[in-house]
Structure 1
């Protein structure tokens, strides 16, 4: 116990501030992190337990072992086939040109697992990450330029001088495309100065099995999309199956692993006769005039770089593809028929029931493919309209993070509103946290891991997802645990969507769980990212103490868990 006296409210807010910032900082700089997901597309489903599925799985299992070599092209690219027609599978991967063999292999290995989760029965699929892409199809995709489907992702912030920026960007992208087309690896990076303190970084890459002419056509199509989707934006990328282009105001690739052409030399005019010269023949005043601004700029650049690397994470909004029918988040690709759900849950039998909440009952189910699912059957009194329900489904389906429960689809027939989620085997956090026998499975390292995972999920909702999402009901029962006890935030029935620049909202309908609610929300209906952080802080206290906030009994003179922690100074994590 510490001897410092502090009012409970101030102590608690300080506690939250330290915990949230420390874990947010850790999540931004963790080494060997999973590759950064960008987008994926699935189309044309195959039948479960089919020959095509067997061939697909064999192909995906073999690709990671070839990430350090290239079959006739270059390292970081590989294509392969498995099986015979009509069940032949064509697959390839392409790693970003600055990736090492080990980082490429890590990305491809992760992608082969992630793709099966996101597209369990897709016959033609492609998934993009910042570090690599992986693709397979039931038709030949080798040495073939494919420009659909494509997606444009853009930073939400705007530049200050759009006209000048667009001119510089057009010139820069033309140069980097020309450089990539004439490179054997079909990869290039290039930079340009926008201001004295702002450098524009660009990248262009094709699959190296393309001819130079096809690569040029693909990249030209990509940069032609930039004015339509991303004019004046501080960062954007266009992802096409056969090529990608991207630009940012921060170095999003490994500068030491790329070799851009040297800048054109600066020719200084000859000094006037009789001017003072050093031994080099350049006057002392000229040296000072050159060195001083460079030194100041270098210092400012280093400070600015540290700031922008932390802040300039991709806050992208997805721009719909031209062929939106191939989008995984179209309603058709997400919809289940009611009969399938009935069969999967054994007609919603009591034996399959996992739990029940204020918004409906949850059942375990098994699809014909063998995939286990969790089925949430919303109560008919939920009051949500059909179109509102569909819009919410599409939004939640686009939230992709390892610490969020993944939505697989929905069913909307008559008065039935059903959500289909991935099945998480270890139930919810409260199942372990408050049961004396189960508590022993939560050692300190596992509790710390759970806290960190929840913080990463919240940070994604608040800062890194396409829209800013306020969950509004963070609590132990809404944190599910997978087979490795990794936490996954669930239940977005009360979530609110903010605009990117919106910081606060108000409501007359207070929903959530008392004890987890921030005071300004419970009393005045004001909610923001701070509301979720407050709930997260209460949850952290529950994880550390093993005490349940919502049914806390007066102990040691404390009327609630927050006061109990303040009195006992539980701060040495």
Structure 2
């Protein structure tokens, strides 16, 4: 009886944990595999395991991660991202689920998997800057609503997201949720670019996705699965619109001098070799620190931030303000910042 009671308690606790989560949206939308085979399948599986182990903490903190391991031709590049309306716990559930699906594409060189709550892609080449690709696809729902008011509501939703998502701040970069009503008929939408894309590539991807979604009308639901973004509309609410967007760092910067200390995201990635683990120096307040080398040979230390609350962002901005204006022989010199990716970065002189 004691064993049965203990089992019941464990099951009850597990059920309570599940109930404490909202919907992590782990429904499989599509798995699209490549058609070229890798040379060493065993290495590929090992690389994938190493990468996903590394990415777990990144996904929980940032809902976004990318990493590459190995040498050509079997070098493996992986990018994963959750929709920003998910909580960290929901993202962890979705990421765990999607990790079991991607290896189904091996021994081919890779593929993409879209769940309603997250996305992952693995390839043997660097695809990080791809906004559109030959395998982009659109899934239209079976139910229809031919009323013009539904079309009008969908058009309004897509237009609004196309404006909001590419311009969203660093915390919700490339992400938007929205709903619009036309004469009592409501349409709901969500758009998400992969955070490594800049605003121009994000707009390119979502503009294409919006056009593809409109081709589904009068279907009451559509999903567009592009290389660089995911877009969905429906006649029911499926996203967490109550999660208010945290204001971006640029909204909190009070010292205009800092706008002249902007590093390009590409410069940061090149200097740290896409944040290779070998360059990781350690972890400090609100972020990890990597060593990098600029094109002119200068060595830098890059703090990769994972601020998630207004209070944290304000403290980071205060740090930037103080360090950029202070000069002391024992104080590391602050060189600049970068707010052009899903993560944000502070750049210091290394020494």
TM-score range, shorter chain: 0.5 to 0.7
The 3-state SS of whatever aligns with 1:152 is strand
Correspondence for 2:234:
248
- Match of 2:217? 231
**Of 174, 182, 188, the match for 1:186:** 174
Q: Please provide the CA RMSD for this pair.
A: 2.6
Counterpart of 2:81 (choices 94, 102, 105) is: 94
Counterpart in the other structure of 2:190: 203
Deviation of residue 122 (structure 1)?
A: 2.6
Alignment CA distance shift 1:158-1:253 (3 Å): same
Whether 1:114 aligns to 2:101 is: yes
Residues 542-561 of structure 1 aligned to structure 2 (within 5 Å): none
Larger relative contact order (Cα-Cα within 8 Å, sequence gap ≥ 6): 2
Q: Is the CA contact (8 Å cut-off) linking 2:155 and 2:214 kept in structure 1?
A: no
Displacement of 1:120:
3.4
Contact 2:40 2:74 in 1 (8 A): no
What residue number does 1:143 align with? 129
Task: Report the secondary structure of 2:197's partner residue.
Answer: coil
- Matched residue SS, 1:45: coil
* Counterpart-to-counterpart distance in 1, 2:77 and 2:132: 14
Identify the residue that residue 30 of structure 2 maps to in structure 1. Answer: 39
Q: C-alpha distance in 1, partners of 2:244/2:141?
A: 24
Distance 2:145 2:245 in 1: 27
C-alpha separation in 2, matches of 1:49 and 1:192? 48
Give yes or no for contact 1:147–1:218 (8 Å, CA) kept in 2.
Answer: no
| Residue matched to 1:171 | 156
Following TM superposition, by how much is the alpha carbon of 1:60 offset from its aligned partner in structure 2, in angstroms? 2.9
1:45-56 map, 5 Å: 45-47=37-39, 49-56=41-48
Corresponding position of 1:13: none
**In structure 1, how many angstroms separate the alpha carbons of the residues matched to 2:60 and 2:20?**
21
1:152 counterpart residue number: 138
Distance 2:97 2:20 in 1: 15
Deviation at 1:202, TM superposition (A): 0.9
- Looking at structure 2, the residues matched to 87 and 115 of structure 1 have their Cα atoms a distance apart, in angstroms, of 16
Among 32, 49, 54, which residue is 1:62 paired with?
54
> Matches of residues 448-527 of structure 1 in structure 2 within 5 Å?
none
Q: How does 1:304-453 map to 2 (within 5 A)?
A: none
* Structure 1 residue corresponding to 2:207, chosen from 206, 211, 220: 220
Which of 67, 72, 79 pairs up with 1:80? 67
Distance 1:215 1:77 in 2: 16
Question: Gaps spanning 5+ residues in structure 1: where?
Answer: 1-25, 70-74, 261-573
Alpha-carbon distance between aligned partners in 2 of 1:211 and 1:120, rounded to the nearest angstrom: 30
Unaligned runs of 5+ in 2: 1-14, 247-351
Once the two structures are superposed, residues 363-392 of structure 1 have per-residue CA deviations (whole angstroms, 9 ceiling, x without a partner) of xxxxxxxxxxxxxxxxxxxxxxxxxxxxxx
Secondary structure of 1:135's counterpart equals strand
Q: State the 1:152 CA deviation.
A: 1.4
Tell me, in whole angstroms, the C-alpha distance in 2 between the residues paired with 1:258 and 1:155: 29
Partners of 1:194 and 1:259 in 2: CA distance: 25
In the alignment, is the contact (CA less than 8 A) between 2:161 and 2:190 conserved in 1?
yes
Task: State the distance in 1 between where 2:190 and 2:120 align.
Answer: 19
**TM-score computed with the length of structure 1 as normaliser:** 0.37
Distance 1:182 1:244 in 2: 16
- Contact 2:38 2:74 survives alignment (8 Å): no
Contact 1:61 1:112 in 2 (8 A): no
Alignment partner of 1:176: what SS?
A: helix
Q: Which has the higher strand share?
A: 2
In structure 2, relative to structure 1, the CA distance for the partners of 1:227 and 1:254 (3 Å cut) is: closer
Shift in Å at residue 68 of structure 1?
Answer: 1.7
Instruction: Write out per-residue CA displacement over residues 304-336 of structure 1, whole angstroms, 9 at most, x where no aligned residue.
Output: xxxxxxxxxxxxxxxxxxxxxxxxxxxxxxxxx
Query: Does the Cα contact within 8 Å between 1:168 and 1:192 map onto a contact in 2?
Result: yes
**Whole-angstrom distance in 2 between the partners of 1:119 and 1:205:** 24
1:72-93 residue CA offsets vs partner (Å, 9 max, x unmatched): xxx2111111112332111110
Q: 1:68 to 1:31 in 2, by over 3 A?
A: closer
C-alpha displacement at 1:48, in angstroms?
Answer: 5.7
Alpha-carbon contact 1:148-1:240 (below 8 Å) kept: no
Offset, 1:154: 1.9
Given the superposition, is the C-alpha separation of residues 60 and 259 from structure 1 closer, same or farther in structure 2, using an over 3 Å criterion?
A: closer
